[in-house]
Structure 1
């Protein structure tokens, strides 16, 4: 099973081109879509989820034309958007039962079994009678996954799912997504590199509506391995270093600015060669499109 996106283009009425000839092949498993805020990730996710139309291009899911046969896609789709509304006084149990009815599960006993199984799967069964408005951020996200799983979807889209979660909630969410991704296409749209590094066997980096890189994380690492150098400098010297070197990222540590620089040639002048990580891959590609200081 594959999701194939070909030459997808979307321009909004204000003239902003959110997607510029996007082409991606997304196989079964966890697929990470990395990019800064405003890169076009949410526009792409909403288009795949049949919530908006593209201007040009095509999307197929296991032979289904996503842009034309929207109902067939919706029957196979689970979607957890970045911001999703909840009825605060309704319990998780009641809300999932309602969603199951909307998905066409008419048998009451079947719905009851399904709701119980989903709540157990996302570790919310003991909290099933509580109003959704009382849930923590991590519980809300786990409920969001539960509602996305109603109907046994073959494609699940999660948009910025770990933003605002504490480390323990994020780990629980990682484990849940990894389990789901064993038998499903799961698209994880995020600007958090750690999410992709932890979860995804395939990935793409997009910026300003364009695909800059796609492949396996290890393929991206191979592109920059041996080319990353680090140095701590005074903040006031940054402009000069940016003129002399390809600075891909900066981080303030104990009052000093730590530079990460990409170079094909060995560097001295106080630079230290360091092992590349997936964040370096991300910034290497993004810095070609966007000023690294603004990333």
Structure 2
């Protein structure tokens, strides 16, 4: 099973070019799509999910042409958008049963077994009779995954799934996504580097509608290892260092800025070599398109 995207482009009526000749090959497993807000990630996800058409390009899921045969894709798709509505007064069990009916599970006994199985999988069975409006953010996200899994999809898309979750809920969500990713294609769209580093065996970095990097996270780190240097400076000195060095990121720590720069050789001037990580890979590519980002 493989998802192949070729030369996908999309420009909105206001002139914003959300996708610029995107090409990606996404294998089975967890695939991280990493990029800042406004990078085009959600546009790409909605296009793959057949919710909007591109201006040009193609998307093939296994042997199915996604753009020409959207109904077949929808039958194989599980989708958890960044923001999704819930009927606040309906409980999880009733809502999932309704979704299963819409997905074509007509037998009442089969639906009951499916709904109970999914609620167990996402650790919501004990809360199955609670109104969805009373759920916490993490519980809502886990319910979102449950509804995305109805119909045994071959492709699952999750858009910014851990935004707003506390650390314990995020860890539960990580474990759930990792389990799901063993048997299907899961595209994880996020701006949180930790999500990709923790979960994904393959990834891409996207910014301003363009793919800047694809590959395994470990390959990305290896490509810049030995090229990252760090130094703490006063905030007032930032512009001076930006003029002299290739600053890829800054982080405010105890009133001082910790600068990370990328260089072919040790820049001296008090900089120290540090091991590269996936965050450095991300900022190395993003900084070539936009100004260095303070995190």
- For residues 129 and 212 of structure 1, the distance between their equivalents in structure 2, rounded to whole angstroms, comes to 46
- For residues 262 and 272 of structure 1, the distance between their equivalents in structure 2, rounded to whole angstroms, comes to 11
- For residues 202 and 263 of structure 1, the distance between their equivalents in structure 2, rounded to whole angstroms, comes to 26
- For residues 130 and 104 of structure 2, the distance between their equivalents in structure 1, rounded to whole angstroms, comes to 25
Name the residue aligned to 1:134: 134
Asked if the contact 2:251–2:294 (Cα under 8 Å) also holds between the matched residues in 1, the reply is: no
Shift of 1:266: 1.4
Pairs within 5 Å for 1:144-223? 144-223=144-223
- For residues 275 and 137 of structure 2, the distance between their equivalents in structure 1, rounded to whole angstroms, comes to 35
Deviations 1:101-154 (A, max 9, x none): 000110000000000000000000000000000000000000000000000000
Q: Which runs of 5+ in 2 are unaligned?
A: none
TM-score by length of 1: 0.99
Asked if the contact 2:39–2:206 (Cα under 8 Å) also holds between the matched residues in 1, the reply is: yes
- For residues 5 and 170 of structure 2, the distance between their equivalents in structure 1, rounded to whole angstroms, comes to 29
Shift of 1:268: 1.3
Q: Which runs of 5+ in 1 are unaligned?
A: none
Shift of 1:222: 1.2
- For residues 253 and 262 of structure 2, the distance between their equivalents in structure 1, rounded to whole angstroms, comes to 20
Deviations 1:32-61 (A, max 9, x none): 000000000000000000000000000000
1:56 aligns with 2:56: yes
- For residues 215 and 63 of structure 1, the distance between their equivalents in structure 2, rounded to whole angstroms, comes to 23
Name the residue aligned to 2:105: 105
| Partner SS, residue 32 of structure 2 | strand
1:40 aligns with 2:54: no
Asked if the contact 2:4–2:59 (Cα under 8 Å) also holds between the matched residues in 1, the reply is: yes
- For residues 291 and 68 of structure 2, the distance between their equivalents in structure 1, rounded to whole angstroms, comes to 38
- For residues 17 and 64 of structure 1, the distance between their equivalents in structure 2, rounded to whole angstroms, comes to 27
Name the residue aligned to 2:118: 118
Shifted more, 23-32 versus 216-225: the winner is: 216-225
- For residues 103 and 227 of structure 1, the distance between their equivalents in structure 2, rounded to whole angstroms, comes to 51
| Partner SS, residue 23 of structure 2 | strand
| Partner SS, residue 144 of structure 2 | helix
| Partner SS, residue 21 of structure 1 | strand
Shift of 1:294: 6.8
Name the residue aligned to 1:25: 25
Shift of 1:293: 3.7
Asked if the contact 2:249–2:294 (Cα under 8 Å) also holds between the matched residues in 1, the reply is: no
- For residues 237 and 293 of structure 1, the distance between their equivalents in structure 2, rounded to whole angstroms, comes to 16
TM-score by length of 2: 0.99
- For residues 269 and 13 of structure 2, the distance between their equivalents in structure 1, rounded to whole angstroms, comes to 50
- For residues 294 and 165 of structure 2, the distance between their equivalents in structure 1, rounded to whole angstroms, comes to 24
Asked if the contact 2:287–2:293 (Cα under 8 Å) also holds between the matched residues in 1, the reply is: no
Name the residue aligned to 2:9: 9
Deviations 1:240-270 (A, max 9, x none): 1000000000000000010000001112111
